[in-house]
Amino acid sequence: MLSALLAGLLVYSSAEAAGGEASEAASHLSGYLRIDTVNPPGNESRGVAYLAGILDQHGIAYSTGESAPGRGNLWARLEGGDKPGLVLLHHIDVVPADLAYWDFDPLSGEIRDGYLYGRGALDTKGLGIVQLEAFIALKESGQALNRDVWLVATADEEAGGAFGAGWMIENHPEVFANVGFLLNEGGGVEQFGEELAVMVEATQKVPLWLRLRSVGRPGHGSAPQVETSVTRLVRAAHRIAETQFEPHLVPTVQAMFQGLAPLQAEPLAQAFADPKSAIQDEEFMLSLQLKNPALHSLFRNTCSVTRLEGSAKINVVPSEAYAELDCRLLPDQDPEVFILELSRIISDEAVTIERIMGFTPAVSSTDTELFEAIQETSAEFFPGSHVVPSVSGGFTDSHFFRDRGIVSYGYAPFVLESTERRGIHGNNERISVENMERGSLIMTGLLERFTVD
């Protein structure tokens, strides 16, 4: 089915191997990585200007809007038929990087030894450029589309999305009025020996960010008291950190593990095939947590103590002390009931719980024409691969759209080594030029398959 739409991309796909310049996708990403959009403060309008410049070069109209000074968002449309539209979504902002722990400048966009280096290469400027390349290729093919296709780049995902996707939905609902599908971050292609699994994120654990506030009598550090705000807080945080919440299997997690079972060696294959029994095995659960904490987290609610705040002075015992918790709930859990459970665990009236942020759970069905198109595209580019609906332990902006009935999938056509995945929010983030070139081809093929009759 792939037409001249892909042929144009293939022209430059081997430019580096031939000793020429980097491919268009790699070149565009290199420039994008050099744009400082670290959040906080974001300054995503810089990224909007960069993307707008590329769209201008190809004669594609677009709109932009700032949710606050410097917090830019961009959206562009290829007009099509009456079928429910498709949105290609990525976020412009990136998390901070500590230069002391990187081997190169995190904002360099350097291309070296077949890799592009920089903060956002994987999360999510690389995906954004692949979506952009496919969007441009679809436009320049001149083919009639059966639905509208939107390219949307937003601010603030790394801080919850209020200035980005959340703002877009509230202030520009016309963009999503006839949209039925959305592709976003959250998926990827994983290698198991000689076999590949195309992971398509269909739901995610629900973030529940909490602050513990402990109160006590202040005093001088030279005169220790029996109990203070700090000792109460430390005890409460320790109780939570030591708690293993009861394992619980939700249908989407069960489907994910059973889909991965054929790719596992024994004894994991048997455990993945029957996760309902496996989660009752304490030895298996401990082994899974040690080897793969991300997979383990999909079987239970979790809380990580991530921030502590006490006195502003070393010799002062404070009246108040604080701790912040990053809790993630399984999609069928009630946040209010969970907070009550934490109160029982803490068991101290001097320690209160404040809710900072929380989302609602939502699951996208995989019984859709878009999921079928992903399966067919994967079979073409990765023959013999397994397409597996997955559950993310983290969160993305997809929840904004799932809440409104838009089928949203995490889908990134990148084959990554485990060491590369560590770069997401970590050190030395990078993506291969090959992934950018092949990813552009795959995304273009998927768009043609889904939007051209």
Do 283 and 247 meet the contact criterion of CB atoms below 8 Å apart? no
Q: Which fold has domain 4-186+396-451?
A: Aminopeptidase (3.40.630)
pLDDT in tens, 420-449: 888 999 999 999 999 999 999 999 999 999
What does the pLDDT average to over 208-229? 97
pLDDT in tens, 134-177: 999 999 999 999 999 999 999 999 999 999 999 999 999 999 99
pLDDT in tens, 391-401: 999 899 999 99
pLDDT at 3 exceeding the cut of 90: no
Bridge partners of 207, per DSSP, are: 328
Band of residue 380 on the pLDDT scale cut at 50, 70, 90: very high
State in words which class domain 205-358 has: alpha beta
Q: How many percent of the chain have pLDDT more than 70?
A: 95
What does the pLDDT average to over 195-205? 96
pTM exceeds 0.85 for this model: yes
For CATH 3.40.630.10, the residue range(s) in the chain are: 4-186+396-451
What does the pLDDT average to over 394-415? 96
pLDDT in tens, 247-284: 999 999 999 999 999 999 999 999 999 999 999 999 99
pLDDT at 4 exceeding the cut of 90: no
For CATH 3.30.70.360, the residue range(s) in the chain are: 205-358
pLDDT in tens, 110-123: 999 999 999 999 99
What does the pLDDT average to over 364-371? 97
pLDDT at 20 exceeding the cut of 80: no
Please tell me which residue, 193 or 59, carries the higher pLDDT value: 59
Res 21: pLDDT: 52
pLDDT at 305 exceeding the cut of 90: yes
pLDDT at 16 exceeding the cut of 90: no
Q: How many percent of the chain have pLDDT more than 90?
A: 91
> Can you tell me the distance from the alpha carbon of 441 to that of 21, in angstroms, rounded to the nearest whole number?
18
